[in-house]
Amino acid sequence: VGQMQDNGTALKPWRHLFRHVTHVPRAQLADLFRKADAFAFPTIIEGRGLGGNEAIACGLPVLTTWKGHGDCVRDGVYGDIVPPREVGVLLSCWMIASR
């Protein structure tokens, strides 16, 4: 959910694996989280975002870095902590979370 920095150009090879939504009214966010397999927040700069906390509250596994929600995601319990810029690791964790 939200705008993509490059309009999704970098993610085109994986467009069949996810659905990008630019805006969701706050009242519908919990329903959207419950329909998802996992919440990815692989930030290298930004600290914890509200979305990760909301995802955890909805029981969704969070895939993040230590810069993101690393302090509240117990690796392998509430999701996975992935190394920054390691797309292959992120994709592997996503595939496991979506089973």
- CA dist 97 and 89 (Å) reads 12
In this structure, what token pair is assigned to residue 92?
């592997």
pLDDT digits (tens, 9 = 90+) for 68-85: 666 777 777 778 888 888
Name every residue whose Cβ is closer than 8 Å to that of residue 57 and which is 6 or more positions away in sequence.
Answer: none
Residue extents of the structural domains in the chain: 9-97
**Cα 92 to the center of its chain, rounded Å:** 13
pTM equals 0.70
pLDDT digits (tens, 9 = 90+) for 12-59: 888 887 778 888 898 998 898 888 888 888 877 777 678 888 888 888
- CATH for 9-97 (3.40.50.2000, 3.40.50.300, 3.90.1150.10, 1.10.287.810): 3.40.50.2000
